[in-house]
Amino acid sequence: MAHYDTILASFRSLRRLGRDPEYRRASAFSFIYGLYPRRRPSWVTINGVRTHFCDASSFTHQYEEIFANRTYEFATDNPHPLILDLGANVGVSVLFFKSRYPGARVIAYEADPKVFDFLRRNVLAHRLAGVEIHNVAVWTERGEIPFESDGADAGRLGERMGKAGSIVVPTVPIAEILLGHERIDFLKLDIEGAEDDVLPACDGLLGRVDNLFLEYHSTTSRPQKLDELVGMLKRAGFRLSIAPEYALPAPFLKRPHERHFDLQLNISAYRPIPATSQ
């Protein structure tokens, strides 16, 4: 049965290669950069424009998830949707939003100053109108906070200075961001574990959000808060679709504490369609 499933998966992949140009492009990027050294900057051509990245592994994964799998695509009748991109990295998500929703206003936040340079470079190179970018960390309050930069896609807010790559970055409160807008068509949070603190700070404000994507990270050094975050989204009136991004392959046997995250989930929160009266 396992052999049959492998053959079937290969057949489906080949069929998709023939039908889906974005999947072909994502597969080509993965083939070209599959063995490329981590954290070595390079570039690819997207829509005829040089698009730069700081880490090939992160970029190819993002491109497949965002462009080929269309993880962030949402239905809207708004010709000018407002999209808040918290954790924009080098801007693959921003490129997708503007290609799929040309009239959108996209406000993107990226805490890592080195990664932000790539985001700014790509936004300028693609001449994206209606895009604002901010080199700050989204947090619960305004101020400064330690940040552990990894030169790729796993930079995260730190509890203390002294680790390799540790810097201090400015912060902006999530509540302040949300209160600045009456309606938010799409809110994306991919903030590497900070969602444990940031999402609860949105309590009472999520009614203005139509669609929300959360990449949940279970941090080995802290208690899991998945139930609290899910409960909060449910209380805000969302229905949820949850897909695994990473899980320990044998959690009863191996618990690798050296890995910062032991569970990652893609949580898509959307408004239910009202029931029609019979």
Asked if residue 122 lies in contact with residue 90, where contact means CB atoms within 8 angstroms, the answer is yes
- In the chain, the N- to C-terminal Cα span, in Å, equals 45
Q: Is the dihedral of CA 165, 218, 61, 87 positive or negative?
A: negative
- Return d(Cα 81, Cα 147) in angstroms, integer: 31
Q: What average pLDDT does the segment 241-262 reach?
A: 84
- What Rg do the C-alpha atoms of the chain give, in angstroms? 19
- pLDDT > 80? residue 274: no
Identify the H or E element spanning 107.
Answer: strand 105-109
Q: Which residues of 101-133 are buried (b: 16+ CB within 10 A; e: fewer)?
A: beebbbbbbbbbebbbbbbbbbbeebebebbeb
Residue 94 in contact with residue 128, Cβ under 8 Å?
yes
pLDDT tens digits, 20-50: 889 999 999 999 998 899 999 999 999 999 9
Q: Looking at the domain 76-270, which fold is it?
A: Rossmann fold (3.40.50)
How do residues 85-128 score in pLDDT, each as one tens digit? Answer: 999 999 999 999 999 999 999 999 999 999 999 999 999 999 99
Question: pLDDT band at residue 65, thresholds of 50, 70 and 90?
Answer: very high
Weakest mean pLDDT among 8-12, 139-143, 207-211: 8-12
Q: Determine the pLDDT at residue 86.
A: 98
How many Å apart are CA 95 and CA 67, to the nearest integer? 9
Q: Phi then psi for 47, rounded to 5 degrees? A: 55, 35
174, 204, 149, 157: which is closest to 86 by C-alpha?
A: 174
Instruction: Tell me which amino acid residue 128 is.
Output: L
Which tokens go with 39?
């954290």
